[in-house]
Amino acid sequence: MELTSYGLMSGAAALAVAALAATVWLWPRLSARSVGAVLGRVGVLGLCQVLTLAAIGLVVNTYFGFYGSWADLLGTEPATVPITVATSGLQVLSSRAVPGGRIEQVIMPGPATRLSEEAYVFLPSAYFKDPQRRFPAILALTGYPGDPRNLMTRLDLPGRMAHAISLRQVKPAILVMMRPSVVLPRDTECVDVPGGPQVQTYFARDVKADMIAHYRVAAGRDSWGILGGSTGGYCALKLAMSHPDEFSAAVSLSGYFKTIIDGTTGDLFHGDKSLEQRNDLMWRLAHLPAPPVNVLVTSSKKGEREYPETVRFLAAVRPPMQASSLILPSGGHNFNTWNRELPQALPWLAQQLTV
């Protein structure tokens, strides 16, 4: 049974309730002062707590999307072995109609990087009405470890895009929904790791090449934007600033501005100080020419620990780079906050794109 399945959550909740009922029923029999009775009371109380915590943990994990599978949770996926790249290019695994268009589940092979990752592609209804027309595209990234399905189930990016199109707030655009962690369980922070996975290049080059080859997506930088939350927000800013020839605009939802190094990442730079600096967005603003990109960063004055750094980032931006902000009075680092920001952030990004 899948880690995020409702069946597992319901089963865990039912077991917790049953354990509580059994405890109430057995308690009179365990009221004696004998060693066995004391151990019995400790045992049933411990079992109730374990089952209750397990049920709560499953609900919280599914709600926030921390782990998408048992392999993600247990760390049993190979850390550095990519999926074998198919020679036939992008592969469509499934396709289904949704309000305002169609969603296709695909595998994005990386001919240059030899990486490969699952993606969900939203094609607006206009895509099927004019077979000669090319469309702009938005690459949307989750946080770490992330599940690309959360971009649909928790943030409803396809529904938001279809709604904005129907209101004529934006012209039709394609969504490419992915997670940035292409070599789980390792978190690569969208870094081209020396001697390791070239994740930044994968998103900047391979994913774009796959989309342009398989779908009617415009190739120019002015037709491509990138959006992400948390780790995905950091990746969105970094990809746009590092590859202004590929992306013209980006949105960072509660993103940060410097590579996080911890037990999930390992050594990403292998002593290469120059590479480490180039992945620090504040360092880039201070020492490299400003890229000709337009970015939107979001945060909250209360509840977001990256708020002070967001203010410093905005102050450091200089032409030709342009930066806008969406700052809430309060909000946490979670889907609820991002759902409050997306009604403005997603149309803003789509409006930056042209064909």
Instruction: Count the neighbouring beta carbons within 10 Å of the beta carbon of residue 115.
Output: 23
Whole-angstrom Cα distance, residue 280 to residue 52? 42
One-letter amino acid of 261: I
Tell me whether residue 169 is in a domain.
Answer: yes
Q: What is the pLDDT of residue 63?
A: 58
Looking at the fold, whether 156 and 281 belong to one and the same domain comes out as: yes
Looking at the fold, whether 290 and 183 belong to one and the same domain comes out as: yes
Tell me whether residue 20 is in a domain.
Answer: yes
Looking at the fold, whether 44 and 104 belong to one and the same domain comes out as: no
Cβ atoms of 9 and 59 within 8 Å: the answer is yes
Looking at the fold, whether 20 and 135 belong to one and the same domain comes out as: no
Model pTM above 0.85: no
pLDDT tens digits, one per residue of 249-280: 999 999 999 999 999 999 999 999 999 999 99
Tell me whether residue 327 is in a domain.
Answer: yes
Tell me whether residue 74 is in a domain.
Answer: no
Integer angstrom CA distances of residue 141 from 16, 155, 167, 191, 229: 35, 12, 25, 15, 7
pLDDT tens digits, one per residue of 22-53: 888 878 877 777 877 788 888 888 888 898 98
Q: What is the pLDDT of residue 230?
A: 97
CATH number of the domain residue 240 falls in: 3.40.50.1820
Q: What is the pLDDT of residue 80?
A: 45
- pLDDT over 90 (residue 20): no
* CA 118, chain centre distance (Å): 12
Residues 156-171, mean pLDDT to the nearest whole number:
98
Residues 277-296, mean pLDDT to the nearest whole number:
98
Q: What is the pLDDT of residue 338?
A: 97
Looking at the fold, whether 46 and 105 belong to one and the same domain comes out as: no
Looking at the fold, whether 34 and 142 belong to one and the same domain comes out as: no
Q: What is the pLDDT of residue 72?
A: 58
Looking at the fold, whether 92 and 36 belong to one and the same domain comes out as: no
Tell me whether residue 71 is in a domain.
Answer: no
Residue 25 domain boundaries: 6-64
Residue that terminates a domain, selected from 17, 49, 64: 64
Tell me whether residue 294 is in a domain.
Answer: yes
Residues 108-122, mean pLDDT to the nearest whole number:
96
Tell me whether residue 78 is in a domain.
Answer: no
Whole-angstrom Cα distance, residue 115 to residue 1? 28
Instruction: Count the neighbouring beta carbons within 10 Å of the beta carbon of residue 247.
Output: 27
- pLDDT over 70 (residue 300): yes
Tell me whether residue 25 is in a domain.
Answer: yes
Least confident of 74-78, 154-158, 168-172, 321-325: 74-78
Q: What is the β-pairing status of strands 322-330 and 101-109?
A: unpaired
**Average pLDDT over all residues of the chain:** 91
The number of folded domains in the chain is: 2
Least confident of 13-22, 120-129, 177-186: 13-22
In sequence order, the 6+-apart residues with CB closer than 8 A to the CB of 20 are 48, 52
pLDDT tens digits, one per residue of 89-109: 899 999 999 999 999 999 999
Provide the H-helix boundaries in the chain. 6-26, 35-64, 70-74, 126-129, 150-153, 157-166, 199-201, 207-214, 231-242, 273-278, 281-287, 307-316, 335-351
Q: What percent of the chain has pLDDT over 70?
A: 91
Kindly indicate the confidence band of residue 223, based on its pLDDT and cuts at 50, 70 and 90: very high
Looking at the fold, whether 200 and 246 belong to one and the same domain comes out as: yes
Looking at the fold, whether 91 and 60 belong to one and the same domain comes out as: no
Looking at the fold, whether 107 and 192 belong to one and the same domain comes out as: yes
Q: What is the pLDDT of residue 83?
A: 41
- pLDDT over 80 (residue 62): no
Looking at the fold, whether 94 and 134 belong to one and the same domain comes out as: yes
Q: What is the pLDDT of residue 81?
A: 43
Looking at the fold, whether 139 and 210 belong to one and the same domain comes out as: yes
